[in-house]
A = this chain, B = another copy of it.
Amino acid sequence: MADHILPKQLTGMADEKSDHESHCFVAKLFGKRAQNREVQEARILEAATNCFVRAGFRGASMNDICSEAGMSPGALYRYFPSKESIIETIVASHRKASAEILNRMDEYDNIIDALVMVGVDHVRKKSADAAGTSWDERSALLFSEVRAEAMRNEAVAAQCELYEGQMREKLLSVVSAAKTKGEINPVGDLELVVATLAAMGEGVVMRNFPAQGVPVEALEPMFRALAVAILRPVQK
Protein backbone atom coordinates (compact mmCIF):
# COMPACT_ATOMS: atom_id res chain seq x y z
CA MET A 1 0.00 0.00 0.00
CA ALA A 2 2.53 2.51 1.14
CA ASP A 3 4.62 1.73 -1.89
CA HIS A 4 2.18 3.54 -4.08
CA ILE A 5 2.77 6.72 -2.22
CA LEU A 6 6.44 6.73 -3.04
CA PRO A 7 7.30 8.38 -6.35
CA LYS A 8 8.17 5.80 -8.97
CA GLN A 9 11.63 7.11 -9.65
CA LEU A 10 12.69 6.47 -6.09
CA THR A 11 12.19 2.75 -6.43
CA GLY A 12 14.76 2.20 -9.17
CA MET A 13 17.74 0.00 -8.45
CA ALA A 14 21.33 -0.40 -9.55
CA ASP A 15 22.73 -3.10 -11.86
CA GLU A 16 23.62 -5.32 -8.89
CA LYS A 17 20.79 -7.85 -8.69
CA SER A 18 19.51 -7.41 -5.18
CA ASP A 19 15.77 -7.81 -5.54
CA HIS A 20 15.07 -7.46 -1.88
CA GLU A 21 16.31 -3.91 -1.95
CA SER A 22 14.58 -2.80 -5.10
CA HIS A 23 11.99 -0.88 -3.15
CA CYS A 24 14.38 0.58 -0.65
CA PHE A 25 14.47 4.35 -0.55
CA VAL A 26 18.17 4.85 -0.05
CA ALA A 27 18.94 2.50 -2.93
CA LYS A 28 18.35 5.44 -5.22
CA LEU A 29 21.48 7.10 -3.93
CA PHE A 30 23.59 4.34 -5.47
CA GLY A 31 21.55 3.72 -8.62
CA LYS A 32 22.99 4.19 -12.08
CA ARG A 33 20.65 7.07 -12.74
CA ALA A 34 21.62 8.81 -9.57
CA GLN A 35 25.29 8.32 -10.27
CA ASN A 36 24.92 9.89 -13.66
CA ARG A 37 23.06 12.76 -12.13
CA GLU A 38 25.94 13.49 -9.81
CA VAL A 39 28.40 13.34 -12.68
CA GLN A 40 26.35 15.80 -14.69
CA GLU A 41 25.91 18.14 -11.77
CA ALA A 42 29.66 18.13 -11.23
CA ARG A 43 30.19 18.84 -14.90
CA ILE A 44 27.87 21.82 -14.75
CA LEU A 45 29.45 23.19 -11.60
CA GLU A 46 32.90 22.80 -13.10
CA ALA A 47 31.88 24.67 -16.25
CA ALA A 48 30.05 27.34 -14.28
CA THR A 49 33.06 27.93 -12.06
CA ASN A 50 35.23 28.52 -15.11
CA CYS A 51 32.70 30.94 -16.56
CA PHE A 52 32.25 32.79 -13.28
CA VAL A 53 35.98 33.16 -12.81
CA ARG A 54 36.22 34.50 -16.33
CA ALA A 55 33.27 36.88 -16.33
CA GLY A 56 31.77 37.11 -12.86
CA PHE A 57 28.45 35.84 -11.56
CA ARG A 58 26.43 38.38 -13.48
CA GLY A 59 28.73 38.62 -16.45
CA ALA A 60 28.56 34.93 -17.31
CA SER A 61 25.37 33.90 -19.07
CA MET A 62 23.62 30.57 -18.91
CA ASN A 63 24.49 30.09 -22.56
CA ASP A 64 28.16 30.51 -21.70
CA ILE A 65 27.84 27.85 -19.03
CA CYS A 66 25.95 25.54 -21.38
CA SER A 67 28.65 25.88 -24.02
CA GLU A 68 31.42 25.31 -21.51
CA ALA A 69 29.63 22.24 -20.20
CA GLY A 70 28.80 20.98 -23.68
CA MET A 71 25.14 20.86 -22.81
CA SER A 72 21.91 22.42 -24.04
CA PRO A 73 19.87 24.76 -21.83
CA GLY A 74 17.08 22.21 -21.70
CA ALA A 75 19.45 19.59 -20.37
CA LEU A 76 21.15 21.88 -17.88
CA TYR A 77 17.87 22.98 -16.36
CA ARG A 78 17.11 19.38 -15.46
CA TYR A 79 19.90 19.53 -12.91
CA PHE A 80 19.66 23.06 -11.57
CA PRO A 81 16.43 25.02 -11.34
CA SER A 82 18.07 28.39 -11.87
CA LYS A 83 21.30 30.31 -12.29
CA GLU A 84 20.88 31.46 -8.72
CA SER A 85 21.00 27.89 -7.45
CA ILE A 86 24.25 27.27 -9.31
CA ILE A 87 25.77 30.39 -7.79
CA GLU A 88 24.64 29.39 -4.32
CA THR A 89 26.07 25.89 -4.70
CA ILE A 90 29.42 27.21 -5.87
CA VAL A 91 29.60 29.86 -3.18
CA ALA A 92 28.79 27.30 -0.51
CA SER A 93 31.51 24.90 -1.61
CA HIS A 94 33.94 27.77 -1.98
CA ARG A 95 33.44 28.93 1.56
CA LYS A 96 33.30 25.37 2.84
CA ALA A 97 36.67 24.60 1.28
CA SER A 98 38.09 27.73 2.84
CA ALA A 99 36.71 26.86 6.24
CA GLU A 100 38.04 23.32 6.07
CA ILE A 101 41.61 24.53 5.88
CA LEU A 102 41.22 25.46 9.54
CA ASN A 103 40.59 21.84 10.45
CA ARG A 104 44.27 21.08 10.28
CA MET A 105 45.11 23.62 12.96
CA ASP A 106 45.02 20.92 15.63
CA GLU A 107 48.00 19.22 14.03
CA TYR A 108 50.22 21.94 15.46
CA ASP A 109 50.95 22.31 19.15
CA ASN A 110 52.18 25.84 18.56
CA ILE A 111 49.35 28.28 17.77
CA ILE A 112 51.62 30.59 15.83
CA ASP A 113 52.67 27.75 13.53
CA ALA A 114 49.05 26.74 13.14
CA LEU A 115 47.99 30.24 12.18
CA VAL A 116 50.84 30.64 9.72
CA MET A 117 49.88 27.33 8.17
CA VAL A 118 46.31 28.51 7.70
CA GLY A 119 47.44 31.61 5.88
CA VAL A 120 50.02 29.82 3.77
CA ASP A 121 47.62 27.05 2.81
CA HIS A 122 45.08 29.60 1.72
CA VAL A 123 47.44 31.32 -0.66
CA ARG A 124 48.95 27.99 -1.65
CA LYS A 125 45.53 27.00 -2.99
CA LYS A 126 45.63 23.49 -1.70
CA SER A 127 42.74 21.76 -0.03
CA ALA A 128 43.19 20.69 3.55
CA ASP A 129 41.72 17.23 3.17
CA ALA A 130 42.32 15.19 0.06
CA ALA A 131 38.78 13.89 -0.23
CA GLY A 132 36.99 17.15 0.37
CA THR A 133 35.87 20.00 -1.80
CA SER A 134 38.62 21.45 -3.90
CA TRP A 135 40.41 24.71 -3.21
CA ASP A 136 42.16 25.20 -6.48
CA GLU A 137 43.76 28.11 -8.24
CA ARG A 138 40.38 29.53 -9.21
CA SER A 139 39.32 30.03 -5.62
CA ALA A 140 41.42 33.11 -5.10
CA LEU A 141 39.98 34.63 -8.25
CA LEU A 142 36.47 33.90 -7.04
CA PHE A 143 37.04 35.44 -3.64
CA SER A 144 36.32 39.06 -4.50
CA GLU A 145 33.39 37.99 -6.64
CA VAL A 146 31.85 36.08 -3.75
CA ARG A 147 32.33 38.98 -1.38
CA ALA A 148 30.79 41.44 -3.81
CA GLU A 149 27.83 39.17 -4.45
CA ALA A 150 27.28 38.67 -0.73
CA MET A 151 26.70 42.40 -0.37
CA ARG A 152 23.43 42.27 -2.28
CA ASN A 153 22.38 38.63 -2.53
CA GLU A 154 20.76 37.46 0.66
CA ALA A 155 21.19 33.74 0.03
CA VAL A 156 24.87 34.15 -0.77
CA ALA A 157 25.33 36.35 2.26
CA ALA A 158 23.76 33.63 4.41
CA GLN A 159 26.16 31.00 3.05
CA CYS A 160 29.11 33.27 3.77
CA GLU A 161 27.91 34.05 7.25
CA LEU A 162 27.44 30.37 8.00
CA TYR A 163 30.93 29.24 7.10
CA GLU A 164 32.67 32.37 8.26
CA GLY A 165 30.97 31.95 11.58
CA GLN A 166 32.41 28.45 11.76
CA MET A 167 35.83 29.82 10.94
CA ARG A 168 35.60 32.49 13.59
CA GLU A 169 34.46 29.94 16.16
CA LYS A 170 37.29 27.59 15.32
CA LEU A 171 39.87 30.37 15.47
CA LEU A 172 38.35 31.70 18.64
CA SER A 173 38.48 28.35 20.39
CA VAL A 174 42.11 27.83 19.45
CA VAL A 175 43.13 31.32 20.45
CA SER A 176 41.25 31.35 23.72
CA ALA A 177 42.64 27.92 24.61
CA ALA A 178 46.14 29.20 24.04
CA LYS A 179 45.42 32.25 26.12
CA THR A 180 44.02 30.16 28.95
CA LYS A 181 47.19 28.10 28.91
CA GLY A 182 49.15 31.31 29.18
CA GLU A 183 50.91 30.82 25.89
CA ILE A 184 49.82 34.11 24.40
CA ASN A 185 48.72 37.57 25.46
CA PRO A 186 46.66 39.00 22.58
CA VAL A 187 46.48 42.74 22.02
CA GLY A 188 42.75 43.16 22.50
CA ASP A 189 39.32 41.61 22.75
CA LEU A 190 39.58 38.02 21.54
CA GLU A 191 36.69 38.20 19.11
CA LEU A 192 38.09 41.32 17.54
CA VAL A 193 41.55 39.76 17.36
CA VAL A 194 40.14 36.79 15.49
CA ALA A 195 38.09 38.94 13.14
CA THR A 196 41.06 41.15 12.37
CA LEU A 197 43.34 38.21 11.71
CA ALA A 198 40.75 36.75 9.35
CA ALA A 199 40.24 40.06 7.56
CA MET A 200 43.94 40.69 7.10
CA GLY A 201 44.53 37.16 5.90
CA GLU A 202 41.70 37.46 3.44
CA GLY A 203 43.19 40.66 2.13
CA VAL A 204 46.40 38.83 1.28
CA VAL A 205 44.57 35.87 -0.24
CA MET A 206 42.54 38.20 -2.46
CA ARG A 207 45.64 39.85 -3.86
CA ASN A 208 46.61 36.46 -5.23
CA PHE A 209 50.33 37.07 -4.82
CA PRO A 210 51.43 33.74 -6.30
CA ALA A 211 49.81 34.74 -9.60
CA GLN A 212 52.00 37.86 -9.56
CA GLY A 213 55.18 35.91 -9.09
CA VAL A 214 55.48 36.26 -5.34
CA PRO A 215 56.36 32.84 -3.89
CA VAL A 216 54.44 31.55 -0.90
CA GLU A 217 57.68 31.19 1.04
CA ALA A 218 58.19 34.96 0.92
CA LEU A 219 54.75 35.48 2.45
CA GLU A 220 55.34 33.11 5.34
CA PRO A 221 57.49 35.48 7.42
CA MET A 222 54.80 38.14 6.96
CA PHE A 223 52.12 35.87 8.30
CA ARG A 224 54.37 34.89 11.17
CA ALA A 225 55.13 38.49 12.01
CA LEU A 226 51.43 39.30 11.90
CA ALA A 227 50.51 36.39 14.13
CA VAL A 228 53.25 37.19 16.63
CA ALA A 229 52.34 40.87 16.68
CA ILE A 230 48.68 40.35 17.40
CA LEU A 231 48.77 37.23 19.57
CA ARG A 232 51.99 38.15 21.41
CA PRO A 233 53.27 34.76 22.58
CA VAL A 234 54.80 34.96 26.04
CA GLN A 235 58.51 34.17 26.45
CA LYS A 236 59.45 30.90 28.08
Contact = CB atoms under 8 A, between A and B. Distances in A.
Interface string A84-95: 000000000000
Contacts of A149: 56
Task: Kindly report how many copies of this chain are found in the complex they form together.
Answer: 2
Interface in A200-222: 200-204, 206-207, 209, 214, 218-219, 221-222
A202 B228 CA distance: 20
Interface stretch (A15-23, A32-40, A97-105, A184-192): A184-192
Contacts of A144: 144, 147-148, 151
B230 A152 contact: no
Contacts of A141: 151
Contacts of A226: 200, 226, 229-230
Nearest to A229: B229
Contacts of A222: 187-188, 192-193, 196, 230
A62 interface: no
A192 to B, nearest CB: 6
22 contacts: A55-B152, A56-B148, A58-B58, A59-B152, A141-B151, A144-B147, A144-B151, A147-B206, A187-B225, A188-B221, A192-B218, A192-B222, A195-B207, A196-B204, A200-B200, A200-B226, A202-B203, A203-B204, A203-B206, A222-B230, A225-B232, A229-B230
Among all A-B residue pairs, the 9 with the closest Cβ atoms: A203-B203, A229-B229, A58-B58, A200-B200, A225-B229, A148-B148, A199-B207, A144-B148, A144-B147
Given A192-B214, A195-B209, A199-B203, 20 more contacts: A54-B152, A56-B149, A144-B144, A147-B206, A148-B148, A187-B222, A188-B218, A188-B222, A192-B219, A195-B214, A200-B201, A200-B204, A202-B203, A203-B206, A222-B230, A225-B229, A225-B232, A226-B229, A229-B229, A229-B230
